[in-house]
Structure 1
């Protein structure tokens, strides 16, 4: 006579833990489903960023604009909540500066009446996206810690600054000075200032205007120099030395230049 199998006394996972495991698998896993999920999230993120860039031109849409604004706020809030729940340590997650930038962007979406003049900072979402591990684990897995990543981050930093500075000039001087009659004028002034071209057809008035112009020129030149250095400096690969910990070496290096330890750098072209 066959014996009955003993009942499985192992407790089932609570719904919250099962949801957390599922979110962690989607946000941090390497399965086909996880990669497709993250690609969908990134596509939505890029569409939202495009809306942020075009927002000054679309603001005349009235009620429709604010409906879209609150829909984006709901999407961003859901994404942030899911990432927080999927992260192993909430306190460690909150220590990340990128997280606080995203939380501030969410605040500008939820309270547009009070934070209307800071709406131009939403473009910082582009910078936080490209500087996140989430992006490089999904789109740039083969380019992570490579020259492609460095160049991409340098370009995005420059583009983000251009649109943030343009938004600031537009918000601060539109309607107060006849030279800035629209968003395109603010963009034109920003580009001519940070490239130090300075045609002189648009000048910001007063001491405050001169300070803004100086800041745009200094930061713009710095970002251009950084981009140039990233493009022109010799290519190096990331391969930590197991003796001294030096992180980057020449692609054909045989010995560590810091301690002389023998290296074995994989040949990516093989």
Structure 2
């Protein structure tokens, strides 16, 4: 490849990266349409992950598994090209989670027992910012934390259900076994404890203890996010404090004069 071809290739790659950065990070209408399509595809993929324990033994499952792997790999590559600094992006927890999910999809036979962790894609999606792009800054300040707490709780419920199904109900009939695992998880998280379904042995008791502790913590977090006073996301130009009261005139940390825009309702 001569210098002219290399130069043309570099120009084409730079143009592609600018276009991807526009699609993934811009707030313009075309970019929001693209981001909305990404969210819809992600939700369909997450639905597949939730159903995976029940359909894993169905013929043709591997074809769907590898198709999802291609979709996630394409998304990861495009998101990486859209970033201006690749190394810091690769160190982000959401990216590490997505890479792990991709590995479980590429090697479903060897990592079948870790498939329940794919539900973490829901947490990764909520942290990507795509879910909050349609909201105004005032709406983000009001709804993001409660919705984020709900997403965390739902993610935990399905991760715990997948774990319990994989290691305790795996040999029960597909749908019935998964429903039993979900039923046990919900009754344990809510500390209802009917006792009609229990996990056998010491490992079952330890699993129940961890599920109760994590579930209660997430419920408390959800309650706090609902009753906590609303804050507006507006970084202070001096000290960078990001959340302030909607009618704040001065930053409560450094006293800097603020100019918080009124987005209306």
Could you state the TM-score of these two structures normalised by the residue count of structure 2? 0.88
Question: Hey, what does 1:76 align to over in structure 2?
Answer: 72
Give 3-state SS (helix, strand or coil) of 1:118's partner: helix
**Aligned counterpart, 1:5:** none
Q: Does 1:22 align with 2:19?
A: yes
* Distance in 1 (alpha carbons) for counterparts of 2:79 and 2:70: 14
Partner of 1:55 in structure 2?
Answer: 52
Q: Secondary structure at the match of 2:56?
A: helix
Q: Post-superposition shift, 1:100?
A: 0.6
Cα 1:140/1:51, change in 2 over 3 Å: farther
Structure-2 residue corresponding to 1:256: 251
- Relative contact order: is structure 1 or structure 2 higher (C-alpha 8 Å, sep ≥ 6)? 2
- In structure 2, the CA distance between the partners of 1:70 and 1:244, relative to structure 1 (3 Å rule), is closer
The 1:205–1:237 alpha-carbon spacing in structure 2 relative to 1, beyond 3 Å, is same
Contact 1:143 1:149 in 2 (8 A): no
Q: Residue 168 of structure 1: CA displacement?
A: 0.2
SS of the counterpart of 1:14?
helix
Aligned ranges 1:20-169 → 2 under 5 Å: 20-63=17-60, 65-137=61-133, 139-140=134-135, 142=137, 145-169=140-164
What is the rounded CA distance, in whole Å, between the counterparts of 1:29 and 1:259 in structure 2? Answer: 31
Which entry has the higher C-alpha Rg, 1 or 2? 1
Contact 1:120 1:168 (C-alpha < 8 Å) held by counterparts? yes
SS in 1 for 2:262: coil
2:4 aligned residue: none
In the TM superposition, 1:117-266 aligns within 5 A as: 117-137=113-133, 139-140=134-135, 142=137, 145-175=140-170, 182-266=177-261
The equivalent of 1:7 in structure 2 is: none
Once the 2 structures are TM-superposed, how far is the Cα of residue 28 of structure 1 from its aligned partner? 2.1
Gaps of 5+ in 1: 1-9
For 2:3, the equivalent position in structure 1 comes to none
Gapped regions of structure 2 (runs ≥ 5)? 1-6
The answer to whether the 8 A contact 1:27-1:34 is kept is: yes
**Inter-CA distance 78–244: structure 2 relative to 1 (3 Å threshold):** closer
Give the aligned CA root-mean-square deviation in angstroms.
2.5
Q: Provide the rounded CA distance (Å) in 1 between the counterparts of 2:37 and 2:195.
A: 45
By percentage of residues, which structure has more helix? 2
Q: Residues 50 and 251 (structure 1 numbering): CA distance in 2 closer, same or farther, change over 3 Å? A: same
